[in-house]
Chain A
Amino acid sequence: MMFRTPKQVGEWVNRTKKINFTFEGEEFSAFEGDTISSALWAAGQKVLGRSFKYHRARGVLSLANHDVNVLVTDGIDTNIRADVVEVKNGMVLTAVNTSGGVKKDKNSYIDSISPLLPVGFYYKAFHTPRRLFPFWENVIRKAAGLGVVNFDYPRILKRKTHSHCDVLVIGAGPTGLTAACTAAEAGLEVTIVDENLQLGGSLGYNRAGDTSVMSRLDNLISKVISLPNIKVMSGSYAAGYYPDHLIPIVSEAGINKVRAKSVIVASGAFEQPPVFRYNDLPGVMLGSAAQRLLYRYAVKPFNNGIVVTANDYGYRVALDLLQAGTKIVALVDMRQTGSIVYAAALAKRGIKVYIGHCVYEAIASSDKSGVRGAVICPYDEKQSVALTDKQFTLECDGIAMSAGWAPAGALLYQAGTGMQFDYGVEQFVPSRLPNGMFAAGKVNGIFELEQRLRDGVRAANDAIRHLGGQAPQNDVEKHVGISPSHAYPMVPHPKGKNFVDFDEDIQIKDFVNAAKEGFDNIELMKRFTTVGMGPSQGKHSNMNAIRILAKIRGLPVEKIGTTTSRPFFHPTPIGHLGGRGFHSHRLTSLHDWHQANDAVFTDIGAWKRAAYYPAAGQSKEDAIQTEAFAVRKTAGIIDGSSFGKIEIHGPDAALFLERFFTGVYTDQKVGSCRYVMLLDETGVVIDDGIASRLADDLFYLSIGTSNAAAVYREMQRSQQMWQLNIGLVNVTGAFGAINIAGPAAREILSTLTDLDLSYGSFPMSSVRESQVAGVETRMIRVAFVADNGYELHAPMGQIPHLWNALIEAGKKHALCPFGSDTQRLLRLEMGHAMPGVDTDGLTNPFEIGADWAIKMDKPYFIGQRSLTILAKRPLRKQLVPFVLAENYKGEMPMDCNLVVDGRDILGRVTSISYSKYLDRCIGFAYVTPARKEVGSVFQIRADSGSLVAATVVKSPFIKTLKGA
C-alpha cells in the first residue's frame, strides 16, 4: 500500500479489516471500505483499464461513478465500475475489453492507427464491395463492446417497493442536508437520498487543507439523524424523474419507487476536465477525484504532482494535496489572473504558480502507463491557444485538473425544467421549475458554502409553502465574483489526443471535423461523434462538447442548447428494473382435479385451462380424437368455468341487450336462450355467446373466455351512456360452469336432478334453474359441442362437488373428460365458427354468413349503421365449411394455410382438423364469394407447397356427413 497515507479525518476505510484480492492475476491487499480503484491505486497500480475505442491505458478520472474506462469483471459479473464498487475479500478481478490483459493489451495498436479512424469512420468505409461487409462487421463488432456477458449469471430477484414522502431531497451534500433539516423541522416527512455510502457530499473532501470543516459536517449529520421524520437512503441513487414526482431510488438491495409531494434537487455538479493532449493518461485525474482518493480512502493520488486549473478550485485541491504530503511541482492556472483568495496560501507554502499557462500536453512514461511530466505553455485565454514557442517541461508523476463544473441536473431536465445559461457561473441553471420541483446548491448555480447552506434553507422553505405550510421567502443572491467554471478550458494540439469524451475517445478535432461535415447541431453532433452516448452519458463530456460547438459556430453557448436528458442517471441493472416479475394467473376450482388427471394446460388470457388429458404415452392428436370420439359416442364433460358470465338485471335488461348485441331479446321467453353477437361500431365481429332469460328482468349471459373482461367493460360503458334501468353483475369468477354433452349426457344428468329432462319439457336453447346433485344450478341446453349438451352453471366453490357427482354418475356411460383443445374440434364438427379463430380483426358478420344473427329492423345496435354501409358493398371473402377428399392421406393442411388459385390468394384456412368420428378432414376457410357455393372445389396450399383440393359442403359437418 505504497500510496496509503496516515489516517485521514473522516476516512471511509476501516483499517482494522484487511482484504485480499487479485487484479489481472496479481495479488493486492486493501482495507474494508476501499473501492476497487482506490485499493489498486493505493498499491501503485495505475493502469486500471483500457478505453473503448483506442484501447488506451486509463486510470482514475473522477472516482465518482463515471470512470467508465475502468470496468472490471469478477468472472461472474461484468462491467463492474471499479471507481465506486467496494472491493471484497477474495475477489478475482480482470479488466474488461482488453486482449491479453490491461498492461499488455494487444488491441492498443488501435491507438497508433487512430488517424485511420476519423470521426464517423465507420460510415465511410467497409460497405464496398458489399460482400465484404459481413467480414468487416464481424471485426468491428468484436472490437466494440465492453465486458463479456456471463451466460451462467443467475437470475437475481430484487425487491421493488413503493414509498411516499412530502419532500424528497436528492443529494446529501451540505445543501441537501440543510434542506432536509429545514423541511423536517417544519414537520414534513423527508426522504434524503445520496449515491455515496456516507453523507456529506463535497463537504467531506473539499477541504482546502483545512480539516475543521469536518466538524460542521458532523453537526449537520447529527442533526439529520436526530430528526425522526427524515429517512436517509445512502448508497442509493435517484435513477430518473417520472411524471408526478415518481422517482426510483436504486440501491444494491433493489428499487424503492418514491412518490414525493415535492422534490428538492441538490445533486451538485460534476467536475469537468480541461482538455489537453494526453489528459487521459493514468495519473491525470480530476481535482475532486484526487480529493476523494485522499480523504475518503486515504490514498495519495501521486507524489510529485502538477495541478492545472482554470478556476479557483484547483488551488483548493493543491492545498489538500499538500496537506497529504504530496509535493506540488507547480500550479498551472489557465486564467490571465490567478486566484485572489488562495494565491497567498499557496505562496506561503512556496508553491510555484504559473498564471496564464496551460498544460499543453502530458508526457507519458516510457511504457505509457503513467505520467512523467508535462509540457507547459503560456496560454492565450482569448484565442484559447497555447503559445508553444515558450514551452517548457516539468517533471511530475501526476496531474490534478480542475476547470469547472456541469450541473448534475439530469432529473431537473427530465422533469421539464427550463434551463438558462448563466454567465456568472458559466453553467446552465434552472430558470423555470415544474410545479413542486426545487433546485438548490451547485445545480442551482450556487457554489460558495455559506450560500449553499442558505440555498438549502430557501429551497426547503419553498417546498414547505408549496405544500401549504408557512415559511419565509428568503431569496438567495446569485453567485458573485470569480466564476467556478471556465468558459473554454480547451488546449488545441496539432497531434490531438486531447480528450473530451473519455468513454468514447473523442478528441477536439473530432468535433471540428464533424461540424465540417455538416453535423453542427448539438443533437446531430452527438449522434455523429457519439459524444455522451457512452455509459457515463456525457457527465464529463457534454458541457465541453457544447462549448466546443459554440466556438466552432461562433455562437453563444445558450444558442447551442443541450441534448435531451433521459433516464437513467446511472446505468441501472435489468434485474433491478425487472424485479420479481409478477405473472398473475387464474385457476378454476377444478384445477386440482385436472392436475390429478394429467391434464395438459393452456393459457387463455390469465386462465389456465385444461386443453386435453393424454393417457400415458398418448399423443396430443390421439388424446383429442379419443376425447372427441367419446363425446360423440357416449358423453364428455368439460370445465367451462373460465367462460365470461354476466347477469343483466332490471326492467330494461332486454332493451339493453338489443342495443348491445345484434339480435332481438325483448320477445325472448323466460326460460329460453338466444345467440348474441357483439360488433364494434365499424361492424367488425368481436365476440358471441348465449343470453338466457331467467326472468322478465334477468338475463344470464355466457360468453367466451378471452374477451370476457373487455365485453363486461364495454357493457358498463354503454350503460353509462344509455342510463337504462338495469344493473350489471359480473359473475365470471363467482360462478363456474360444466358442460356435459353427448348421447348419454341426459341420462347421466337425470340421475342427479329431479328436473324433467325430456326434450319436450327441456328443449334445445332453453334454460332451467334446478338442483343438480344438491347444487342450485342454471342449466343451459346448447348445442355448441354436441346436440345433447347441457351447460351447468353454479357457484364456483360447489363446482367440484357437481363435477365429481357427474363423473361418478357417468362412470357406467364411459363419461370422458375433455379439454379446450378437444372442444375446438367438437365445435368444428358442429359447424360453429369461433370469433377470434375463424374471424380476424376486420371480419364483418356477412363474411361469416351470420346474416341470420343480425336484426337490422331495430332502432339501434352497436355496429348497425356500419352494416348498412357494408351491406351495399360486394363481399370480399366468405367463410365456408369444407371437407377434403374421403380417405385423404396426403399432407395435412394446417390452420392459416392459404387458399390459392395460381398466383392469386383467395383466402386461408381458419380451422382444420381430422375428425375420427366423421373419418374426414373438415374445416373452415375463407374463399372468394365466387367459390362459396356448396360443391365448389378450391385448392389449399399445405406447408410443403403441395396443393390439396377441398370441397365446400353444408354445415354442420356432423349432419352433412353423418346425417346425425
Chain B
Amino acid sequence: MQQYDVKSIIQTSPVAHAQPRESAKWEVVNGMNTAVEFASATIENARKKVLGVADVSCLARYGVKGPNATQWLLERGIAIPTTPNSWTICEQKTLVLRLGSSEFLIEDQLGGSACSRLASDTTRVASVFKVPRADAAFIVSGSEALNLLSELCSLDLREKSLAAKDLIMTQVAGISATLIRQTLNGEPVYRIWCDGTYGPYMWEVLIEIATELGGGAVGLAQYQSS
C-alpha cells in the first residue's frame, strides 16, 4: 500500500477556481494553496486603499456547537463573547465568533494555534458537537468597502449601526454568510465567511464590483503577517 502523510496533503483554497492561475503568486499557507499576490505591492496597496478584497480561506478554523459548547471552550481557555451574535479576540491571534447562542467558529489568524489545540482533543463530550468547517473567507477593506457591501447586503453596516463586536448572519449576494467589522492593522475592514462551495461565486461577485469601484484583488500578505 502506498503510504501517505496526512500532513503533506496540500489543499487548495475553495476560492481558487475563480482566481487567476497564471498572474497570481501562489503559496502554501497553513497547508492550503493560496493566491498571496495578485499584482505588485504598489498596485495592491493602491487597491487596498480604495477597495481591496483578499481571500483568507486558508486560516485555520474550528467549529463547535451544542448546549455545552460554551463550557467546553471555556475549559480549554478560549475567551467567549458574552452575548449571542458577537465576537472577540482570544490570545491576540484568534478570532472567536459566537454564531447565535450556542455555536462557535474559532479562527486562528496567522500565528494562532487555538484551532490545532482544540482539534487535537478528539474525545466526544455530551452536548458538544464538532462542526467541520470548510469556509471561504474574505477581507474587504478600503474607502469604498461600504459602497460595495451596500450592493450585496441590505443591512446597515455602517459603524453607527454595526457595533464593534457585533456579528451578523445574513445574506451577502444572495447566499448565507457571516459578517463582522474589525479594525485590522489600524484600518477598518469587513470580514465575510460563507460556505466554501460558494467561494468562487462570492469571489467573482466581490471582484466584479470592486473592480468597477476602482479596487480589486489583494493578496493575503497585505493583511496578515505572522
Name the contact of A584 in the complex, choosing from B65, B153, B201 (C-beta under 8 A): B201
B175 at interface by CB-CB < 8 Å: yes
Q: Is the CB of B9 within 8 A of A775?
A: yes
Known: A259-B154, A774-B9. A585 touches B201 (CB 8 A): yes
The answer to whether B2 touches A809, judged by C-beta atoms less than 8 angstroms apart, is: yes
The chain B residue with its CB closest to the CB of A798 is: B9
Closest CB-CB distance, B222 to chain A, in whole Å?
Answer: 23
Contact at A647–B156, with CB atoms within 8 Å? no
Specify which chain B residues have a CB less than 8 angstroms from the CB of A695 in the assembled complex. 124
User: How does the 8 Å CB contact mask read for A128-160 relative to B, with 1 for contact and 0 for none?
Assistant: 000000000000000000000000000000011
Annotate B1-18 by CB proximity to A: 1 below 8 A, 0 otherwise: 111111011111010110
When the two chains form their complex, are residues B151 and A160 in contact, meaning their CB atoms are under 8 A apart? yes
Tell me if A467 counts as interface (CB < 8 A to partner B): no
Is the CB–CB distance between A796 and B134 below 8 Å?
yes
Interface pair A774/B17, CB less than 8 Å apart:
no
Q: How far is the CA of A725 from the CA of B199 in the complex (A)?
A: 34
Q: Looking at the assembled complex, report how far the CB atom of A428 sits from the nearest CB atom of chain B, in whole angstroms.
A: 33
**How many Å lie between the Cα of A963 and that of B93 in the bound state?**
62
Cα A797 to Cα B9 in complex, Å, equals 10
A797 touches B6 (CB 8 A): no
| CB of B223, distance to nearest CB on chain A (Å) | 21
Smallest beta-carbon distance B103→chain A, Å: 9
B1 touching A727 by the CB < 8 A rule? Answer: no
Query: Is A753 in contact with chain B by the CB < 8 A criterion?
Result: yes
Interface residues on B, range: 35 or more
In contact, A589 and B12 (Cβ under 8 angstroms): yes
With the chains together, A733 CA to B136 CA distance in Å?
Answer: 11
Q: State whether B132 touches A775 (Cβ < 8 A).
A: no
Chain A nearest CB from B185 CB (Å) reads 27
A649 near B150 with CB under 8 A, answer no
Complex CA distance for A159 and B151, rounded to whole angstroms: 7
Q: In the complex, A710→B2 CA distance in Å?
A: 41
Check B186 for interface membership: any CB of A closer than 8 A.
no
Closest chain-B Cβ to A188's Cβ sits at a distance in Å of: 12
A470 CB-CB contact with B under 8 Å: no
- Chain A contact patch, size range: 35 or more
Contact with A along B133-144 (1 / 0, CB 8 A): 110000000000
- Across the interface, name the chain B residue whose C-beta is closest to A727: B129
Bound complex: CA A582 to CA B66 (Å): 34
Task: Specify which chain A residues have a CB less than 8 angstroms from the CB of B158 in the assembled complex.
Answer: 164
Q: Which of A779-828 contact B (CB under 8 A)?
A: 795-798, 800-801, 805, 809
Asked whether any CB of chain A lies closer than 8 Å to the CB of B161, the reply is: yes
Given A160-B151, A162-B150: A797 in contact with B32 (beta carbons within 8 A): yes
Q: Specify which chain B residues have a CB less than 8 angstroms from the CB of A606 in the assembled complex.
A: 198
- In the complex, what residue of chain A is closest to B69 when comparing beta carbons? A727
- CB contact under 8 A between A796 and B198, given known A159-B151, A727-B65, A729-B129: no
Query: Which chain A residues in 242-274 approach chain B with CB under 8 Å?
Result: 257, 259
Q: Is the CB of B17 within 8 A of A587?
A: yes
Say how far B165's CB is from chain A's closest CB, in angstroms: 20
Set of chain A residues within 8 Å of B205, measured between Cβ atoms: 582
Interface check A918, CB cutoff 8 A: no
Mask, B67-82, CB within 8 Å of A = 1, is: 0000000000000000
Query: Which residue on chain A has the smallest CB distance to residue B155?
Result: A162
Give the Cβ gap from B214 to chain A, nearest Cβ, in Å. 14
Near B by CB (< 8 A), chain A positions 750-789 give 750-754, 771, 773-776
A592 adjacent to chain B (CB < 8 Å): yes
The answer to whether B127 and A650 have CB atoms under 8 Å apart is yes
Q: Which residues of B contact A727 (CB under 8 A)?
A: 65-66, 127, 129
Find chain A residues with CB under 8 A from B126 CB: 650-651
Query: A734 within 8 Å of B by Cβ?
Result: yes
Contact yes or no, B174 A582, CB < 8 A:
yes
Choose one: A588, A800, A805; the contact of B4 (CB below 8 Å): A805
Task: Given the known inter-chain contacts A584-B173, A647-B129, please indicate yes or no for A733 contacting B151, CB distance below 8 A.
Answer: no
Q: For the complex formed, measure the closest distance between the CB of A426 and the CB atoms of chain B, giving whole angstroms.
A: 41
Q: Is B197 among interface residues, defined by CB-CB distance under 8 A?
A: yes
| A729 to B: closest C-beta gap in Å | 5
Interface centre among B9, B10, B158, B173 (most CB of A within 10 A): B9
Let me know if B188 is at the binding interface, CB within 8 A: no
Chain B residues, CB < 8 A from A438: none
* Interface status of B131 (Cβ within 8 A of chain A): yes
Name the interface residues of B144-175: CB closer than 8 Å to any CB of A. 147, 150-151, 153-156, 158, 161, 173-175
How far is it, in angstroms, between the C-alpha of A259 and the C-alpha of B161 when the chains are bound?
13
Minimum Cβ distance to chain A for residue B182 (Å) = 21
B3, B12, B147, B153: the one contacting A800 at CB < 8 Å is B12
B9: which A residues are within 8 A, CB to CB?
774-775, 798, 801
Given contacts A161-B151, A729-B129, contact A584 B198 (CB under 8 A): yes
**What residues of A have a CB within 8 angstroms of the CB of B134 in the complex?**
733-735, 795-797
Collect the chain B residues with CB atoms within 8 Å of residue A800's CB: 11-12
A954 contacts the other chain (CB 8 A): no
In the complex with contacts A257-B154, A650-B127, A587-B5 CB distance below 8 A: no
Residues in chain B near residue A776, CB distance under 8 A:
6
Q: How far is the CA of A773 from the CA of B147 in the complex (A)?
A: 46
Complex interface: chain A residues within 8 A of B200 (CB): 587, 591
Q: Within 8 Å of chain B (Cβ to Cβ): is A163?
A: yes
A433 touches B (CB below 8 Å)? no
In A592-622, the 8 Å CB interface with B consists of 592, 606-607
| B84 located at the interface, meaning its Cβ lies under 8 Å from any Cβ of chain A in the complex | no
| Contact call A586/B197, Cβ cutoff below 8 A | yes
Does B196 sit at the interface, judged by CB under 8 A?
yes
Is A394 an interface residue when CB atoms closer than 8 A count as contact? no
Counting CB contacts under 8 A, is A476 at the interface? no
Asked if A731 is an interface residue, CB under 8 A from chain B, the answer is yes
A797 CA to B16 CA, complexed, in Å: 12
Q: Are A795 and B132 in contact (CB under 8 A)?
A: yes
Is A580 close to B, CB under 8 A? yes
Q: How far is the CA of A805 from the CA of B199 in the complex (A)?
A: 25
Rounded to whole angstroms, the CA-CA distance of A753 and B201 in the bound complex is 35
Q: Among A159, A162, A164, A729, point to the contact of B131 (Cβ < 8 A).
A: A729
Which A-chain residue is minimally distant from B131 (CB atoms)? Answer: A729
Of the residues A160, A649, A733, contact of B197 by C-beta under 8 Å: A733
Q: B131–A752 contact, CB under 8 A?
A: no
- B152 to chain A minimum Cβ distance, whole angstroms, is 8
| Chain B residues in 8 Å Cβ range of A805 | 2, 4
User: Do A161 and B150 have beta carbons less than 8 Å apart?
Assistant: yes
**Binary CB contact string for chain A from 891 to 906 against chain B (1 if under 8 A, 0 otherwise):** 0000000000000000
Complex: A598 Cα to B211 Cα, angstroms? 30
State whether A731 and B132 are in contact (beta carbons under 8 Å apart), knowing that A164-B161, A586-B198, A800-B12 are contacts in the complex. yes
Contact of A734 among B12, B65, B133 (CB under 8 A): B133
Which chain B residues border A589 with CB–CB below 8 Å?
Answer: 12, 14, 196-197
Chain B residue, CB-CB nearest to A588: B197
> How near does chain A come to B22, taking the closest CB pair, in angstroms?
14
A161 and B32 CA atoms in complex are apart in Å by 34
Given that A584-B173, A589-B14, A731-B132 are known contacts, is A162 also in contact with B198, CB under 8 Å in the complex?
Answer: no
Distance in angstroms from A582 CB to nearest chain B CB is 5
Complex Cα spacing A305 to B161, Å: 57
Can you add 16 more A-B contacts, CB < 8 Å, to A587-B17, A753-B1? A161-B151, A162-B151, A164-B158, A164-B161, A259-B154, A582-B205, A587-B199, A587-B200, A641-B197, A727-B65, A729-B131, A773-B2, A774-B9, A775-B4, A775-B9, A776-B6
22 pairs, CB–CB < 8 Å, chain A vs chain B:
A159-B151, A162-B153, A164-B158, A257-B154, A585-B198, A586-B197, A586-B198, A589-B12, A727-B65, A729-B130, A729-B131, A731-B131, A733-B134, A733-B196, A751-B1, A771-B4, A773-B2, A773-B4, A796-B134, A797-B134, A798-B9, A798-B11
Q: Which 4 A-B pairs have the closest CB atoms?
A: A774-B4, A797-B11, A733-B195, A734-B132
- A residues with CB within 8 A of B: 159-164, 257, 259, 580, 582, 584-589, 591-592, 606-607, 641, 647, 649-651, 695, 697-698, 725, 727, 729, 731, 733-735, 750-754, 771, 773-776, 795-798, 800-801, 805, 809
